[in-house]
């Protein structure tokens, strides 16, 4: 679909990326009456809270995704399928990767993040990243085929944070549904899982992993892929980088942290290296008062936030207020991040692990709580 030019004399607010903050803006479009609003996104919104549950076949793809185009229409937001490739902030023009150009008066970027991962090698294991989330669906389909053919692939998950742990558990769940018993190995460069989590929660988690026959190896830095497996280095390896070690794998899933999307490098906007688009407390790009960013792609100048959807969700009302204020010429408000965030891991087999600061809770109730929060979030946007 080609972009419709804004009506004469009216400003255009361009929303790029259908992330959490922009979904909120669409629902509250009436607060942005003064502008024509256009959303650009290449596909669906995938909800990360259900992503690993989808891998484990507890959720269907339809339960994990929303169509931003369908959401936008009833609120009077023009939705375009497309991917931002470049920006000319001075001329206020956004260029999409198919060559289309969109001018804007106000711009908001909610582009998410990606999972960095070493290049695939042939011959070598199949390589998967947890983001973009549809990769997990492709992994599930691939494994379902292998399990149904009676194969028992060796599965290696890289990353000892919440998503690595969830992926390892949900791979076991998927295998269990198909009566398969593949080897599952979770590797982390750290000395423990879930850095920063209470020690009791980590001990409880280790018992859960043992029960699921998921092996864990610590202090192991995966550096690349090779025939039949992955290469890794350890801190204690006295021989240096020319003596990499090797680990057998048929599938490698990378879940070792999130990084800003590559496109942020091509936008001509201030960046914080490795963290994303620099933003003031008001979510404005420094020196560009009409350009805003929120969620994982944004890096606050005065706070280093973990990449959690709660920040995108909580930034949304501030973003809305500030865009409305720019349109009306009013004062802007700052986003003040909350100190603690609740994380609930879905470990499959009906078990969850909830952590907030030093408090934690493992078991069925934690998972029921997570499912309730996920349902409540998604229900707002189902049309
Ligand atoms: C497996 C997994 C599990 C997770 N679980 C949790 C959890 O339980 N709790 C939690 O808080 N966080 C979790 N996270 C982190 C969470 O996914 C992110 O913090 C969150 O999705 C970021 O949301 P966002 O609104 O910034 O962007 P997203 O929701 O990622 O949306 C970004 C949008 O921008 C679009 N886009 C990207 N590039 C372009 C472009 N060039 N042009 C146009 N559009 C573009 C994308 O298509 C996408 O629709 C998890 C992450 C993973 C990978």
SS3 content of the chain, % helix, strand, coil (to 5): 30, 25, 40
pLDDT tens by residue, 296-308: 999 999 998 888 8
In DSSP terms, which residues pair with 86 in a beta bridge? 95
| Least confident residue range of 7-16, 151-160, 347-356 | 7-16
Query: What is the CATH architecture assignment of 12-114+259-328?
Result: 3-Layer(bba) Sandwich (3.50)
With the C-alpha atoms ordered 361, 364, 368, 370, is the resulting torsion angle positive or negative?
positive
Same fold, 12-114+259-328 and 126-257: yes
Token match 């080897």: residue?
A: 183
Each residue's pLDDT tens digit, 86-124: 999 999 999 999 999 999 999 999 999 999 999 999 999
Superfamily of domain 126-257: FAD/NAD(P)-binding domain (3.50.50.60)
From the CB of 295, is ligand 1 less than 6 Å away?
A: yes
Q: Give the domain ranges of the chain.
A: 12-114+259-328, 126-257
Contacts with 191 (C-beta within 8 Å, 6 or more apart), sequence order: 218, 219
Q: Which of 47, 96, 110, 112 to mutate to test the pocket of ligand 1 (most atoms within 8 A of CB)?
A: 112
Residue 239's pLDDT is 61
226: phi then psi, degrees, rounded to nearest 5: -150, 170
| Average pLDDT of every residue of the chain | 95
- Is the CB–ligand 1 distance for residue 313 below 6 Å? no
| Letter string b/e over residues 8-20, b meaning 16 or more CB atoms within 10 A of that residue's CB | eeebbbbbbbbbb
The protein residue with its alpha carbon nearest to ligand 1, atom 4, reads: 48
Residues 316/294, Cβ–Cβ less than 8 Å: yes
Q: What is the mean pLDDT of residues 26-51?
A: 97
Q: Which CA distances in Å does 80 have to 18, 35, 102, 183, 282? A: 11, 17, 11, 44, 27
Q: Is 68 in the pocket of ligand 1 (CB under 6 A)?
A: no
Q: Is the Cβ atom of 130 under 6 angstroms away from ligand 1?
A: yes
% of residues, the chain, pLDDT over 90: 90
Atom number, ligand 1, closest to the C-alpha of residue 21: 25
**Of 180, 115, 192, whose CA–CA distance to 154 is shortest?**
180
How far, in Å, CA of 244 to CA of 236, rounded? 12
What is the Å distance from ligand 1's center to 274 Cα? 16
Determine if ligand 1 sits within 6 Å of the CB of residue 52. Answer: yes
pLDDT band per the 50, 70, 90 thresholds, residue 339 = confident
Q: Is the pLDDT of residue 2 over 80?
A: no
């Amino acid at each position: 679909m080609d972009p419709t030019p804004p009506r004469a004399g009216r400003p255009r607010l361009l929303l790029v990326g259908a992330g959490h903050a922009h979904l909120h803006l669409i629902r509250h479009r009436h607060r942005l009456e003064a502008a024509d609003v256009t959303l650009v996104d290449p596909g669906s919104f995938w909800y990360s809270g259900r992503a690993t549950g989808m891998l484990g076949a507890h959720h269907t793809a339809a339960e994990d995704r929303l169509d931003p185009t369908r959401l936008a229409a009833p609120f009077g937001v023009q939705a375009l399928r497309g991917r931002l490739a470049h920006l000319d902030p001075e001329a206020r023009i956004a260029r999409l990767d198919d060559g289309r150009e969109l001018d804007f008066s106000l711009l908001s970027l909610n582009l998410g993040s990606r999972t960095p991962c070493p290049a695939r090698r042939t011959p070598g294991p199949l390589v998967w990243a947890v983001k973009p989330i549809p990769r997990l669906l492709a992994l599930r389909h691939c494994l379902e085929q292998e399990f149904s053919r009676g194969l028992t692939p060796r599965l290696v998950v890289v990353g000892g944070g919440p998503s690595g742990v969830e992926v390892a558990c949900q791979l076991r769940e998927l295998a269990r549904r198909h009566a398969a018993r593949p080897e599952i190995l979770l590797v982390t460069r750290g000395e423990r899982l879930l850095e920063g989590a209470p020690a009791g929660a980590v001990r409880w988690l280790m018992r859960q992993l043992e029960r699921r026959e998921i092996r864990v190896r610590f202090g192991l830095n995966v550096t690349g892929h090779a025939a039949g497996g992955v290469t890794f280095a350890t801190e204690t390896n006295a021989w240096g980088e020319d003596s990499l070690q090797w680990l057998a794998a048929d599938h490698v899933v990378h879940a070792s942290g999130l990084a800003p999307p590559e496109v942020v490098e091509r936008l001509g906007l201030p960046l914080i290296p490795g963290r994303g688009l620099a933003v003031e407390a008001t979510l404005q790009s420094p020196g560009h008062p009409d350009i805003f960013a929120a969620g994982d792609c944004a890096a606050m100048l005065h706070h280093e936030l973990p990449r959690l959807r709660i920040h995108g969700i909580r930034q949304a009302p501030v973003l809305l207020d500030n865009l409305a204020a720019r349109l009306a010429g009013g004062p802007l408000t700052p986003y003040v991040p909350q100190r603690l965030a609740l994380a609930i891991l879905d470990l499959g087999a009906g078990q969850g692990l909830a952590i907030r600061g030093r408090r934690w809770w493992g078991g069925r109730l934690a998972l029921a709580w997570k499912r309730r929060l996920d349902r409540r979030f998604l229900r707002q946007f189902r049309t």
